Chains A and B, each alone.
Chain A
Amino acid sequence: MFASPFAQQALLIKRLKPAVFLLCLLPLADLIYRGLTNQLDADPVDDITAVTGTWGLRLLLITLAVSPVRQVTGWHALIKLRRMFGLFAFFYACLHFLTYLMLDQFFAWQFIVEDISERPYILVGFSAFVLLVPLAVTSTNGWVRRLGGRRWQKLHALVYGIAVLGVLHHFLQVKADISGPAQYALILMVLLAYRWYRRRGKQAGKTRVKTAERGQILKPGVLSDTDV
């Protein structure tokens, strides 16, 4: 008996997963290495804030890119990496938030409250972080079962809004050079446009096309073909 293409891919992904896991830790490892060898910027807090924030945003976009990439390439087993990417995005967002709280402000609550209420970029970033929390909590298989696929998907559609907030958070801090955040904005727009285009096509051909081919290869409940 031969394994299906999906099973073969899944096996490969399963073997690669630890390597991808370590790869996701690389930015943190580099930060720690530079910290220990005194190679951080003259303002280390600013450096740590920038690195953790950047990787939070990058991993969020990578998470969003998983479905388009697997649909375009046919590498459907990539879905097995998505939760890990999403949780790593949350991990770096946590580090970013803790850096702000502990290193930048050193728990000066008065200034933190003022920042959140008066500085739009802080409010936007903080909102994105808060919204990530329920997604991280409900990322387990157990929660998918408890909520039911449909409701779970609805909840996790929040990730698009969070990504928009994340890019906006970056944009609002620019003094003159928008090229950095503009790159992320462009990537996000492509991802959103792809999703919109696909959805429209699907609605138009709902009665014609049964998603049989995709339906077969996806585990019901955990992995839906309309995954968000």
Chain B
Amino acid sequence: MLINKPRDIKASEITDYVMFKRRREFIKTSGAMLALGAVPMLLHSPVTQAKLVFESLQKSAFSTNEELTPYKAVTTYNNFYEFSTDKRGPAELARDFKSRPWTLEVAGEVNRPKTFDVDELIKLFDLEERIYRLRCVEAWSMVVPWVGFPLHKLIAHAEPNSRAKYVEFETLYDPERMPGQHKSLFGSVLDWPYREGLRIDEAVHPLTILAVGLYGEELPGQNGAPIRLVVPWKYGFKSIKSIVKIKLSEDQPLNTWQAQAPREYGFYANVNPEVPHPRWSQARERRIGEFLKRPTLPFNGYGEQVASLYRGMDPTKLY
């Protein structure tokens, strides 16, 4: 349901994008090398890794037809404390982030635990385009065209046993590559590695995806390369980035923000305009690119799909 009218023949259908990029890189590098008279070095020059482009994505009935937030805003306005607590910081500090090689371990209460190479994992499932609203707990929102696959496919692949009641996720811990994880004068910003968790029924809900790209390209570092969670009816911090481990467990995990400020962040963190954050209102939000605030919808507008997951529970406890 893209609003942009697709061109008849994409340039990328004529020339493979990866080849195109590599050719560019080759021309650039060799030109520079020749200029330097360093021809022998050319033989040893590494091939620069080009961005992956995802073609022929399945469309999804879950996608919204709202106007997309521009690519530039999606990739320069990020909360990713592993790099910086400043929203402009991650885009700069993650520019050279190497997301390959990358492994993702699936472990815990499953019959088939396995450590996947991320590229191998991407090939395992059909990739879809999912255009979702993203509502940050800071009261701003975006509309992002993600590329990914439903998490339930990976969970089914791992064959959970009857004790699997929760799913825990963990971000990479590597201060050398993620400078925000270094201790400052005032200690660690958060207790690394970043952890998040879902109840199993939330995790296998068809809306819950693992994203590997946005706008048809691989995820930039600042958006959680190479693989991240997207749970559109919860505040953005639930959608954990740069995942290295998924563990199915019997007990409810303690998430990073929950541990950091238990009075402000609960386990569920469902978008709810009725329950203010202790320090600010959640009744309205500013859609990035718009001036006037708009009302925030319960479950970020996905109530029809997910409200039944919480039947019988006190909605004010679901923050």
Bound-state CA distance A177–B147 (Å) is 31
- A191-205 CB contacts (< 8 Å) to partner B: none
Q: Which residue of A lies closest to B184 (CB)?
A: A179
Q: Contact flags (1/0) for B70-89 with A, using CB distance below 8 Å?
A: 00110011000100010110
Bound-state CA distance A93–B69 (Å) is 31
The answer to whether B190 has its CB under 8 Å from any CB of chain A is: yes
Bound-state CA distance A125–B98 (Å) is 42
Contact B281 A114 (CB under 8 A): yes
Binds A, one of B115-123, B203-211, B284-292: B284-292
The answer to whether A111 has its CB under 8 Å from any CB of chain B is: yes
Chain A residues whose C-beta falls within 8 Å of the C-beta of B186 in the assembled complex:
177-179, 182
Bound-state CA distance A45–B292 (Å) is 10
- A101-119 CB contacts (< 8 Å) to partner B: 103, 105-106, 108, 111, 114-115, 118-119
A96 to chain B, nearest CB (A): 16
The answer to whether A121 has its CB under 8 Å from any CB of chain B is: yes
Chain B residues whose C-beta falls within 8 Å of the C-beta of A175 in the assembled complex:
85, 261
The answer to whether B280 has its CB under 8 Å from any CB of chain A is: yes
Bound-state CA distance A175–B86 (Å) is 12
Contact A41 B292 (CB under 8 A): no
Contact A119 B279 (CB under 8 A): yes
Residue among B69, B87, B276 with most chain A CB within 10 A: B87
The answer to whether A173 has its CB under 8 Å from any CB of chain B is: yes
Q: Contact flags (1/0) for A87-106 with B, using CB distance below 8 Å?
A: 00000000000000001011
Residue among B73, B289, B293 with most chain A CB within 10 A: B293
- B246-302 CB contacts (< 8 Å) to partner A: 260-261, 276, 279-281, 283-284, 286, 288-289, 291-293
A119 and B185 in contact, given A176-B85, A176-B260 (Cβ under 8 angstroms): no
A41 and B88 in contact, given A114-B281, A119-B279, A179-B184 (Cβ under 8 angstroms): yes
Instruction: Among B185, B279, B286, point to the contact of A179 (Cβ < 8 A).
Output: B185
Bound-state CA distance A106–B290 (Å) is 13
The answer to whether A221 has its CB under 8 Å from any CB of chain B is: no
Chain B residues whose C-beta falls within 8 Å of the C-beta of A173 in the assembled complex:
279
Chain B residues whose C-beta falls within 8 Å of the C-beta of A178 in the assembled complex:
186
The answer to whether A131 has its CB under 8 Å from any CB of chain B is: no
The answer to whether A43 has its CB under 8 Å from any CB of chain B is: yes
Chain A residues whose C-beta falls within 8 Å of the C-beta of B85 in the assembled complex:
175-177
The answer to whether B17 has its CB under 8 Å from any CB of chain A is: no
16 contacts between A and B (CB under 8 A): A41-B76, A43-B140, A43-B286, A106-B291, A108-B293, A111-B281, A115-B280, A119-B280, A119-B281, A176-B81, A176-B189, A176-B190, A176-B260, A177-B85, A177-B186, A177-B189
